[in-house]
Structure 1
């Protein structure tokens, strides 16, 4: 997709207006300073971010932003960011586009600076996303994009069968076992490779069954419950019985999206970008898919709240410019472009009720519901360790190395060791 002249002019006007508005406000905590910046982010899969930053750079030649793209894997991006931040001094990155669940870790480590809430229009955001940017009651980042898992399905196949999309796990399991084989399809997949995506899928299963993993900012382990055994058991049973294909144990977001887009799956749990890409021209399933909120044991399930926040390195060269850039990227006009160019869910609440956007992105009302009812991943200053434990233990359950009950007991023990360090 290319910029239209009108969109380019609109962003240029917006940038000039923001320059005046932000310069009159208080500076970010820790001092001022304007000048060039670097913005570090995970790989930009849709290529939307470069043009957004070009709009800023045209209007702010003395505060040019250099985009640094890290790997698109969350784990690899986390590793590179933390290596740089642990190095002390300034490091390479001024502004960091971080996974929502890294905010607590980065804040507790002193790597990112607190931000004044009055400088950003937080009341215009979807309410759940603001909590992801706080730690111990202080704002350490600004929500940039949000996300919630959706269940994508082959609408054409379910229409032929005369059945609605699944509302419960029993519906999903039945259709994946009985309908998918009739059409030469695998039943259901998510992201089950042992990486951050598996932590998300496991948390959604536990949350949907009414359970939790950690409480009290990561100091209390709550996972040893019937709900956790039910949620992990649901996924493990799917692999054991075959309606979750064994190939799904190797899937991350892109691999699972590609399997669905190539017409191999009846159901897929993924982020909304997968719906947008699978609906695009050239996709084998374009015009044949739908999206609903995730099912649970007895009705609607619970998605994990995804997305990313923009944070300022404690040692940023120009913190005032960094805050101005964040204000620009979270403005309503730019947030609209985040959706229309990047297929990423914006944090501005008003955009979810825009009739033009709903016509273009028919899943928006469903996504809004999913975001408003989503739950965050467990907050912990040691989140990287928490996630590694969840990945390893749940993968052993999915591959049959441990029963779900044994896996939950082990999960509780190993998370307790992390929490008590």
Structure 2
């Protein structure tokens, strides 16, 4: 799906669906009626790197009675979400396993669309600890982390070297370089994903989190955004556009547009997912060999990223829930997770892979990404996440375009989120 592209090819939000039927929201998927073994359907948003088919061929060769059919949904996370929600709401069982954006777990679990899973069937202790939290709701495991992601600050290391300036660790250092150094080299200063869509929700949440704030608490029941930290974070983004070190063109950027701007040599700094580092370092990039990556900066030091990636969940109406759980265990095994990285350029959830010397030589950003993931936080958890995200996008975009002050925007966002949280 788009978040694995956009959470990092990264929001390439994948959706896998396995068949099976659960009679109770507290019953584990593999113990449900219809919880046996048999063929499966795996639905995913567009697999842009083409890595997933070969992974599933390996499963199909060794599990002839449990063959998986891959169904690719639209590239766009919003379109994939809409199609999945429509099918699941109707009780459709054509998808067995859902590879869902990490931000959707709470919504799908609260709606009863996905089944709780037995923790002992999956190697959760082998995963990077923060990613497991994205797969839980109300204290239960409703999915298994498959791909993770964290935002990085990409920068032109050749330009900073000429200026004898270290990569920025704080917002003030980022602003100063974006405002004073970038114009000397004919570059724009800084960009992220600022079009009003899911990417802006991510960028806004990162700014709020980095300033020490939060947006929601208690699984979406408590609104916490009306704070000094939120005003500081949203103010940082709005100030950048107002002062010009964030170009107005960036207000139209999604992941790919921002990557292309950086890769074509038009930006000094870019917030994006690791896939953009891989692409910008490739042979066809105009900035190949000139790209560095560090954790996102914050007000007084390294900031905080939002966790991206996708989780594998079992449709509560899946036909073969035991096979679904077995497939998820296969896709999260060490061997397959290694291929997720080497074939798909997607960040794995297995912690040990980030310290593998061979992988670090091939993917030099892995240590930085590991540090970013370990300090990252999920997007606001809510059973009405789609509505929460739309509110954040609209309000923050108005602040960045100057239609509202950051202070007024935060007050408005608090009112809108309170209204969403009190809806039935």
Q: Same fold (TM over 0.5)?
A: yes
Q: Which residue of 2 aligns with 1:158?
A: 160
Alignment deviations for residues 107-156 of structure 1 (CA, whole Å, 9 cap, x no partner):
00000011110011111111111111111111110000111100000111
Q: Which residue of 1 aligns with 2:385?
A: 383
Q: Point out the more displaced range, 297-306 or 61-70.
A: 61-70
After superposition, residues 55-204 of structure 1 pair within 5 angstroms as 55-90=58-93, 92-204=94-206
Q: Which residue of 2 aligns with 1:54?
A: 57
Alignment deviations for residues 217-267 of structure 1 (CA, whole Å, 9 cap, x no partner):
111101001111110011011111111111111111111111111111110
After superposition, residues 353-364 of structure 1 pair within 5 angstroms as 353-364=355-366
Per the TM alignment, residue 27 of structure 1 is displaced from its structure 2 partner at its CA by 7.5
**1:43 and 2:74 matched:** no
Secondary structure in 2 aligned to 1:217? helix
Query: Which runs of 5 or more structure 1 residues have no equivalent in the other structure?
Result: 1-25
Q: Which residue of 2 aligns with 1:325?
A: 327
**1:258 and 2:260 matched:** yes
Q: Which residue of 1 aligns with 2:209?
A: 207
Distance in 2, matches of 1:195 and 1:333, equals: 35
Q: Which residue of 2 aligns with 1:229?
A: 231
Alignment deviations for residues 335-381 of structure 1 (CA, whole Å, 9 cap, x no partner):
00111111111100100110111111111111111011001111111
> What is the count of residue pairs matched by the alignment?
395
Q: Point out the more displaced range, 112-121 or 74-83.
A: 74-83
Per the TM alignment, residue 62 of structure 1 is displaced from its structure 2 partner at its CA by 2.2
**1:218 and 2:235 matched:** no
Please tell me whether the aligned partners of residues 127 and 350 of structure 2 are also in contact (alpha carbons under 8 angstroms): yes
Alignment deviations for residues 64-116 of structure 1 (CA, whole Å, 9 cap, x no partner):
211112222221211111111112142x3111110111111100000001111
Distance in 1, matches of 2:243 and 2:92, equals: 53
Per the TM alignment, residue 45 of structure 1 is displaced from its structure 2 partner at its CA by 2.0
Aligned to 2:291, which of 278, 289, 292?
Answer: 289
The two structures have a TM-score, normalised by structure 1, of 0.92
Distance in 2, matches of 1:27 and 1:243, equals: 50
Distance in 2, matches of 1:68 and 1:185, equals: 42
Distance in 1, matches of 2:146 and 2:402, equals: 39
Distance in 2, matches of 1:68 and 1:190, equals: 31
Distance in 2, matches of 1:29 and 1:392, equals: 42
**1:272 and 2:274 matched:** yes
Q: CA RMSD in A?
A: 1.1
Query: Which runs of 5 or more structure 2 residues have no equivalent in the other structure?
Result: 1-27
Per the TM alignment, residue 385 of structure 1 is displaced from its structure 2 partner at its CA by 0.7
Q: Which residue of 2 aligns with 1:8?
A: none
Please tell me whether the aligned partners of residues 334 and 350 of structure 2 are also in contact (alpha carbons under 8 angstroms): yes
Distance in 2, matches of 1:399 and 1:210, equals: 24
Distance in 1, matches of 2:287 and 2:73, equals: 30
Please tell me whether the aligned partners of residues 29 and 114 of structure 1 are also in contact (alpha carbons under 8 angstroms): no
Distance in 2, matches of 1:339 and 1:332, equals: 11
Distance in 1, matches of 2:369 and 2:290, equals: 19
Please tell me whether the aligned partners of residues 29 and 115 of structure 2 are also in contact (alpha carbons under 8 angstroms): no
Secondary structure in 2 aligned to 1:287? coil
Secondary structure in 1 aligned to 2:298? coil
Please tell me whether the aligned partners of residues 29 and 316 of structure 2 are also in contact (alpha carbons under 8 angstroms): no
Please tell me whether the aligned partners of residues 216 and 222 of structure 2 are also in contact (alpha carbons under 8 angstroms): yes
Q: Which residue of 2 aligns with 1:23?
A: none
Distance in 2, matches of 1:70 and 1:155, equals: 38
